[in-house]
Amino acid sequence: MKPSPDRPTQSAPLTSEPIDFSLVLGGPLYQLFRRTQLSGDALELVRKRIVVIALMAWLPLLLLSALEGQLLDGGVAIPFLMDFDVHIRFLVAMPLLIGAELIVHQRIRPVVGQFLDRGLVPEAARARFEAAVGSAMRLRNSVIAEVLLIVFVYGFGVLVVWRSAAVLDTATWYTVPTDSGFGLSLAGIWYGYVSVPIFQFLILRWFLRVCIWMRFLWQVSRIELNLVPTHPDRVGGLGFLANSAYAFMPLALAYGALLAGMLANRIFYVGATLPEFKAEIALVVIFVECLVLAPLFVFSSQLASTKRIGLREYGGLAMTYVREFDSKWLRGSAPADEPLVGSGDIQSLADLGNSFAVVQEMRLAPVTRDVVLRLGIATLLPVAPLLLTIMPFEELLKKLVGVVL
């Protein structure tokens, strides 16, 4: 069967040097880590980075709260050691954000290489693919981008979002009563102008990286790839892209931990109950799913086109074959000495049907139900302990066993 003019011909896999692609191995902060010996060339020393950065954000809060007598009591509604939000934010979510860099670096780079290893990029389009890689790396290394993130953190993230939405309207270890409401204590000043900005910068830096990833995939999706409609992964050979979602699992855990800390403070100190936050929990899960999986939908148009062409071509091939099969075995055209039993024609007919069924089952994005489910579980996992606030542990355990069994 001749290839359709609507679809590029197959080319042999490109076996030149591996593509040098990394979403995290670059940028001003990465260079700062290297110069301060907090990272090697390939993001080694991840534990050292976690300890140094987390303690920079959390330890001064402990010391200043102790100095002000607000570690366990101090006459405030939320003493420092009882603030679930701050401990989960800086001792759980922040380490996850930092540790995710190494995981993303190790898992995304080989995923990008699969475009070439599988021959998906035509040889004539190799230059466009390499240009997309180079563009992504320049944006990743941009000094201006990270400076703008810092400006945004202090101009909007701290002064608007944190001061108006995150600060509780009650006396805590980081607030003190004033004539006009509540002001910041010494610990609160460090919290609001050092610890929170560090955390927000790490969050926004990950947003930037996801945007770079989406932009790169979008540029690749503009290339007419060598997709095969009968590939058993049901996405023309792009099934390997679903594995990229697993690289971002630590981000899902970090967002879930951040949500859990916020809810815990409101449950234990404001009198709220977990069911009151069903909408917020659902929104966070949806947000994480979209953040990780949305970049993969840029291939939907090309996959839809491949499916249409595949249905037309394999439908035509099937029609030709079944007519010849019908004529041979049902209309008396089969040779007299050729037995039906054991004939390869039957198996070929079945194989052709299976191939057509694979084309019919093609999905419009390299996203699987397993990926969606695991991302949701990773996001909800840190929130799960809060279920103990609405039911005893024994009852919760029985429900979980009932679900599993």
172 bridge partner residues? 78
Low-confidence ranges of the chain (pLDDT < 70): 1-19, 74, 160-170, 177-182, 329, 332-345, 393-405
How confident is the model at residue 11, as a pLDDT?
41
78 bridge partner residues? 172
Pair 121, 129: CB distance under 8 Å:
yes
How confident is the model at residue 169, as a pLDDT?
57
- Give, for 245, the enclosing helix (H) or strand (E): helix 244-247
How confident is the model at residue 165, as a pLDDT?
55
**Rounded Cα distance, 89 and 106, in Å:** 25
Residue 382, judged by CB atoms within 10 A of its CB (0-12, 13-18, 19+), counts as: buried
**Rounded Cα distance, 212 and 221, in Å:** 14
Alpha carbon of residue 31 to chain centroid: 24
Alpha carbon of residue 290 to chain centroid: 8
**Rounded Cα distance, 173 and 225, in Å:** 57
How confident is the model at residue 13, as a pLDDT?
42
Max CA distance (Å), the chain: 105
**Rounded Cα distance, 352 and 317, in Å:** 9
How confident is the model at residue 337, as a pLDDT?
60
The DSSP 8-state label assigned to residue 17 in this structure reads: S
How confident is the model at residue 390, as a pLDDT?
79
Predicted confidence (pLDDT) per residue in 178-190, tens digit: 666 567 788 888 9
184 bridge partner residues? 175
Alpha carbon of residue 170 to chain centroid: 36
Contacts 24+ apart (CB under 8 A), 341-349: 348/321, 349/321, 349/322, 349/325
Pair 29, 146: CB distance under 8 Å:
yes
How confident is the model at residue 402, as a pLDDT?
59
How confident is the model at residue 335, as a pLDDT?
65
Pair 160, 258: CB distance under 8 Å:
no
**Rounded Cα distance, 377 and 393, in Å:** 20
How confident is the model at residue 1, as a pLDDT?
40
